[in-house]
Amino acid sequence: MDRDPPTPASRPLRPEAGAALAWSRPRLRAEHGPSLDDRILAVEARLIAREHALGEQWQHAVERVRVAMRPRRLMAPLIGIGVAAFVVWWLLRGRGTRGAATIAHAAHAAMPPLAGSAVDLPWAPLLAFVWPLLPQRWRTRVSPATAATVLGVGVPLVERLLAARAHPALETAEQVDLARYAGTWYEVARLAQAHEACDGQPTSHYRFTGDGLQLQQRCVSRDGAERVAQGVAQPLPGSGNAKLRFSVWPQWLRWLPLAWTQHWILYVDEGYDMALVGHPNRLSLRVLSRRPRMNPAQLEALLRVAAERGFATDRVQVVQPA
């Protein structure tokens, strides 16, 4: 029986024909572009890659912030900011009295007199030579700009603040018995600086310790609150106990020169009932009495002594009760 010839659909493909068909499909895709599925897959791949990149950038930023916020790394910047803010405040706090001259004096008002020292500090510029001697791992943690700023600005500022201030000679009492000077003193008049916050009549109580005095100061601030400060007073060698330096700063900070101020006894009577105390820069003056009030004639006599020694007694404020 005769069979019909096979149709093209049912006819099996020869191997060479299958190869030709497979070769024609990519060619067809190249001619008409990628299919819709291929384009969707490519867009999804790009979105996933971008999401991964953003996630990695976010994790890197969070890690950098975490490292930067560690207390050990924040210690040095916070200390630097605190010291800079304190220096600026210290230099500007006397602006309200005598302008630029007062600022210069106020910056050195808390300096202790350095016996036998020169006005300048020749060792301060030598700090610049310490930088190359530091370990390499320390120097790599500090940027060159920061190091240049510290050496170019910080060292001269420290040199200026720590230098002993030269003032005209100020005559003091020849000899002071600290044991007799101890006790309670009332402030009856003062030449104060603008930054001082005490109002009314301050009192000071000294306790003799053998080699110096312990101090307790009391006053009422301008807002009505009582202010109490504890400190120490130490006589300078060779001054006959007339030149004291005192500090109300915490003991662990008293190694700083700024923690001390000068307290020179210019006059004390034989009975240790009244005294005249001032600073060698002539910007601070106190008239002290064992009683809250002083005879006006005695007060005027003490102010004449202060005027002869260069104090601006025309700006003295009487604070004894009426």
208 within domain boundaries? yes
Residue 220 belongs to a domain = yes
* Average pLDDT over every residue of 198-207: 88
> Do residues 241 and 178 make contact, with C-beta atoms less than 8 angstroms apart?
yes
Strand partners, 220: 199, 226
Task: Give the model confidence (pLDDT) of 238-260 as tens digits.
Answer: 999 999 998 988 888 888 777 88
Residue 141 counted as domain residue: no
pTM (2 d.p.)? 0.54
Per-residue pLDDT, 257 = 77
**How many angstroms separate the Cα of 223 from the Cα of each of 188, 198, 199?**
21, 9, 9
Q: How many domains does the chain have?
A: 1
* Residue-number span of the structural domain to which 224 is assigned: 178-318
Q: Measure the CA angle with vertex 217, ends 273 and 246; round to 5°.
A: 85
Q: Average pLDDT over the chain, rounded to whole?
A: 75
Q: What is the CATH number of the domain that holds 275?
A: 2.40.128.20
Strand partners for 218: 203, 228
Asked, for residue 217, whether it belongs to a domain, the answer is yes
Grade residue 90 by pLDDT with cuts at 50, 70 and 90.
Answer: low
Which residues make Cβ contacts (< 8 Å) with residue 320, sequence separation at least 6?
186, 188, 189, 201, 289, 292, 293, 294
pLDDT at 98: 38
Is pLDDT of 130 > 70? no
Domain-embedded: residue 75: no
The yes-or-no verdict on residue 192 having pLDDT over 70 is yes
Q: Rounded CA gap, 23 and 21, in Å? A: 5
pLDDT at 267: 96
Domain contains 90: no
pLDDT, tens digit, for every residue of 20-50?
444 445 544 555 667 888 888 888 888 888 8
Q: Average pLDDT for residues 286-299, to the nearest whole number?
A: 94
Lowest-pLDDT range, 100-109, 135-144, 172-181, 215-224? 100-109
Distances in Å between the Cα of 296 and the Cα atoms of 44, 232, 311 are: 95, 31, 19
pLDDT value at residue 159: 61
| Mean pLDDT in residue range 49-75 | 76
- Mean pLDDT across 12-22: 48
Higher pLDDT, 92 or 80: 80
**What was the pLDDT predicted at 188?**
95
In the predicted model, is pLDDT for residue 121 greater than 90? no
**Would you say residue 69 lies in a domain?**
no
- Asked if residue 170 belongs to a domain, the reply is no
